[in-house]
Amino acid sequence: MTSTLFSPIKLADLALENRIVVSPMCQYSADDGSATDWHLGHLAMLANSGADLVVVEATHVERRGRITHGCLGLYSDDNEAALARVIAHCRRVGTAKLGIQLAHAGRKASSYRPWEGGLGLKQDDDPWETIAPSAIAFGNAWSAPRAMTRDDMDRVRDAFVASARRAVRLGFDAVELHMAHGYLLHSFMSPIANHRSDEYGGSHAARLRFPLEVARAVRAVVPPSLPLGARITGSDWSEGGLTPDDAVALAKALKEMGLDFLCVSSGGITAEVKIALGPGYQVPFAEKVRREVGIPTRAVGLIATPQQAEAILADGKADMIALARAMLDDPRWGWHAAQALAGDVKRPPQYARAAPKLAGSGLSRLTGAGGRETVEVRMVRSSAIAMLFAVMTLCACAEGASAKNARARPSAAHRSASATGQAVMRKKPPVAPTPRQDEKSWMDRASTPSDSGGGGGGM
């Protein structure tokens, strides 16, 4: 029987050989929005995961739209040049197509990295003014944002358009808009965050007005041949918030506007929201949107095993599967899924000796009931991946050092306040994650899929 997970799908003119997607996952390791050597190694690793589409983390359309000082951006020539280097490397060494998620954090901006606590920045750590539909803070640990004016909305819309143009110029295979997880576009749609009394607040249609303006403007500059999609919310998980029916209404509007696919996530509208997490807990939202709107959908959220992913697709609950934490745990998830489901994936020729041949090797005897890996096999695999990643990173650093002097320094416009009054945020070097005793606690508290308190990822 042919695996649905390993069957092809077409989005606009983009032909994908399987339905595995690496979900956008914030890395908090950029330098004033510019990708670094961390991104070079991280994305190159995922480009050989067996997924046929890897979506770059939430990439912010303006400096003040970043979640943290370390978030990726596509708002300057420096950002574009740095990302071009990463994309070129992934194309050379990887097998996957590449997508990008464009985002604005809104009132969730000006925050610490997750491993620094994930809360709003304190005065000594270079915070900046945040913007939102209404002057309502995300939580007690965040400053209240400034309610956006029409001029703010025009600037943000144009910033999305400018970043989309850069994404097209960089040669991305797909573009998606982040309309979930409590970030700016989602906050306009949710009655929890949007208390406006003008034409952008009140009724559901009015609250959709600005997000749809952004989507329409971006669709106008992304060629029809290039798939444009969005990550939307299936539920605010909060009384008085958005519901699955609201997700269907938004999906219908986006489909009419010419969007090609949707990824249906949930949560993140306030810091207090708690979600009862469980395997595939967001799949019913994707199923409802797919069934009632008839647009290709991605399911995301605690999808971990090949059998689980296959069942979701085979039962018609979604058209694609997005994986995040499962891919970080096993960067060859697609290879192992192909082996489990009798599918096939592209592999670099350097690795042609691996995967299928292991089924007949001594390593196969180290699997337990149901084909689960024992600790020994997991250790062997993890060690090999770690060694590969280390080598790639060392090579990337060497390449980066030679190119460093050629990189243009930030322009005067980036070093001084803009004409719109935007505050200048001091650049800070990426901070490598360090183990902390409370690290598990913030992961357990995370109410948005695989954001780890921030970015654009599904579990």
- Residues annotated catalytic, as ranges: 183
Q: Nearest to residue 432, comparing CAs of 98, 38, 59?
A: 38
- CB neighbours of residue 6 within 10 Å: 23
Give residue 386's identity as a one-letter amino acid code: A
Cα–Cα distances (Å) from 196 to 272, 328, 329, 456, in that order, read 22, 40, 42, 26
C-alpha to C-alpha distance for 343 and 113, rounded to whole angstroms: 38
| Cβ-Cβ contacts under 8 Å for 443 (sequence gap 6 or more) | 114, 452
Q: 159 Cβ partners below 8 Å, 6+ apart?
A: 61, 62, 65, 75, 104
Distance in angstroms (rounded) separating the CA atoms of residues 220 and 217: 5
Alpha-carbon distance 82 to 79, whole Å? 5
Task: Find how far residue 8's CA is from the centre of its chain.
Answer: 22
Q: Which among 264, 278, 87 is positioned nearest to 173, based on CA atoms? A: 87
Residue keyed to tokens 């939102």: 132
Alpha-carbon distance of 289 to 301, in angstroms, equals: 16
**∠319-325-327 over CA atoms, to 5°?**
70
Which tokens belong to 113? 């990295």
Give the SS3 label for residue 222. Answer: coil
Alpha helical stretches, state H, 47-199: 77-93, 150-170, 184-189
Distance CA 272, CA 236 (A): 11
Q: Contacts from 164-170 at CB under 8 Å and sequence distance 24+? A: 164/102, 164/218, 164/221, 164/222, 165/221, 166/74, 166/79, 166/80, 167/59, 167/74, 167/100, 167/102, 167/222, 168/221, 168/222, 168/223, 168/226, 169/80, 170/80, 170/83, 170/84, 170/87, 170/100
Q: How many CA atoms lie within 13 A of 281 on its CB side?
A: 18
